[in-house]
Structures are given as C-alpha cells and as structure tokens.
C-alpha cells in the first residue's frame, strides 16, 4: 500500500532475502503462498515509491547462485531498480567470495558492505553477516567459532564507522542473522552495537508464519528491524525520511 509521504523526500528503505534465480528459476512458493508472485509485488512497490535519490539496504540472501558468473543476471535485475542499493552477504549467498571481485561486477548504483563501512552522503552503512545466537545453552563448537569471528567482524565495521562519523551523520547497521535469540534476549552483538549509538539495525534470515519474530525489537538502546521480504509483505520497510528532520 502506498502512502502520501513515500514520494515527498529522500528516504532509506530496507528489504532482504530475495532468493533470486533469474537465469535458473527456482519456485519460491514451495515455501508458502506468501511467495506467490512475490517479485511482482516488490517490483510494483519499488517502481511506485522508490526514487534514484533513495537508499535501499539489502541484508543478505540475495541470490541462489553458486558463483559470480551465476549471480550476474540477479545483480543486473536489482541493478535496474531505482535507488542506491547496498548489499550484505547472507548464509545462502554462496556466490559471495572475494569482496573485490564482487565490487568489480556490481551494476551502477549498487554497493557491497563486508566488515567495513560505506558512506553515501550523510549516511554511514556498516555490518557483517552474523550467526545464530545461542539459546538454552545450546551452542556447538563450530557455531561458537563462527559467532566469535562474526563478532570481531562487526566490531571492525563499527570501528571504521566511528572513524568516518561526523556530526549529523545517520548510521545504519546490516546483519543477516538476527543478533538475538528467539526470546529476544540481549546478546554480545546487541551490547556491542548498542555501545556505538547507531540509528537502526536491519536483519533478515527469518521466514515462515510460525517463526517467532517481531517487526521491531528494541535491545540495549537500539531498534532492530526485520526485513525478510516474506515477513514484510514484500514491501520495503521505510527506515528514514528527511521529512522527519523537517518536522523537528
């Protein structure tokens, strides 16, 4: 559904988990009716409400492709959309290996963040994939290693953001995995992110009508916004608009 303010000013949106397969179609509706014609819904909203001045954060699981050659058609599909698109790696983005090789093939106005920080105007965008947060004491050794490594990577990204940060900047963090467990408990990730006083964090990964999820979770002084496309009715979430600042 379109609202009047979508077309009034520069905006920041977020959406994730496209699971594209343009050249090798994989029917996503095997995962439920919400995936019926989901790309048509996204494209329609995007065409009607997102301009070239806007920023769209895409927090992982962009494509089913297995390598860079396979992902090119999917990237070109997204590249044709208006706005500045910022990608983060998800757990299914097997095509994402070398960040330099990826950046070399990205379409115009498409960017990738990996453990670093991107500036677009007065906006700083940083992040890392993250990993499954332990719950009820269940945490395999391999999971702990990955979790600890991702914690280091998100800190590297936040430290780079701090070096670049100027008065008046808006800071958004992307992480693919929710940085808390299904009980929405504080974690090393949320405590770390909270200490950097960012504006908002977006994440994806969660799917299905029976998953325990909330649109927005507030932890350690920060709002975490769910952006998995099937969980947001295939409608990019509005994170910020300069109309907010005009009203102050």
The beta strands (E) that lie in 106-181 are given as 110-112, 117-120, 123-127, 170-174
- State percent of the chain over pLDDT 70: 89
**pLDDT: is 97 or 23 the higher one?**
97
More confident residue, 2 or 22: 22
* 17-52 per-residue burial string, b: 16 or more CB within 10 A, e: under 16: bbbbbbeeeeebeeeeebbeebbeebeebbeebbee
User: Residue 29: pLDDT band by 50, 70, 90 thresholds?
Assistant: low
Average pLDDT over residues 95-114: 96
Local confidence band at 137 (pLDDT 50, 70, 90 cut-offs): low
**pTM of the predicted protein model:** 0.92
Query: Which two tokens mark 79?
Result: 């590249």
Q: Which two tokens stand for residue 136?
A: 């009820």
Mean pLDDT, residues 177-201: 96
Answer yes or no: are the C-beta atoms of 1 and 223 closer than 8 Å.
no
Q: Please name each of the domains of the chain with its CATH number.
A: 9-246 (3.60.21.10)
Q: Is 154 exposed, middle or buried (0-12, 13-18, 19+ CB in 10 A)?
A: buried
Model confidence at 24, pLDDT cuts 50, 70, 90, reads: confident
Burial class of 161 by CB neighbour count within 10 A (0 to 12, 13 to 18, 19+): buried
Q: How far apart are the first and last CA of the chain?
A: 26
- Gap between the Cα atoms of 108 and 158, Å rounded: 26
Please determine, for residue 79, whether its predicted confidence score (pLDDT) is greater than 90. Answer: yes
Q: What is the pLDDT of residues 225-243, one digit of tens each?
A: 999 998 999 999 999 998 7
């Amino acid at each position: 559904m379109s609202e009047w303010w979508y077309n009034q000013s520069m905006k920041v949106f977020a959406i994730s988990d496209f699971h594209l397969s343009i050249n090798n179609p994989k029917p996503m509706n095997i995962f439920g009716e919400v995936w019926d014609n989901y790309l048509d819904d996204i494209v329609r909203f995007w065409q009607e409400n997102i301009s070239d001045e806007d920023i769209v954060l895409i927090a992982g699981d962009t494509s089913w492709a297995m390598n860079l050659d396979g992902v090119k058609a999917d990237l070109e599909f997204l590249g044709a959309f208006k706005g500045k698109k910022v990608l983060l790696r998800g757990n299914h983005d097997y095509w994402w290996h070398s960040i330099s090789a990826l950046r070399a093939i990205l379409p115009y106005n498409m960017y990738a963040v990996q453990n670093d920080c991107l500036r677009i105007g007065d906006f700083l965008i940083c992040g890392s994939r993250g990993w499954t947060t332990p719950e009820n004491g269940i945490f395999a050794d391999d999971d702990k290693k990955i979790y600890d490594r991702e914690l280091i990577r998100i800190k590297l990204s936040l430290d780079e953001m701090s070096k670049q940060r100027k008065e008046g900047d808006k800071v958004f963090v992307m992480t693919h995995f929710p940085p808390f467990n299904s009980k929405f408990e504080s974690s090393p990730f949320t405590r770390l992110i909270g200490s950097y006083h960012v504006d908002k964090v977006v994440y994806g990964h969660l799917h299905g009508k029976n998953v325990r999820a909330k649109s927005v979770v507030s932890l350690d002084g920060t709002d975490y916004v769910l952006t998995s496309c099937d969980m947001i009715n295939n409608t990019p979430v509005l994170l910020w608009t300069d109309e907010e600042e005009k009203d102050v």
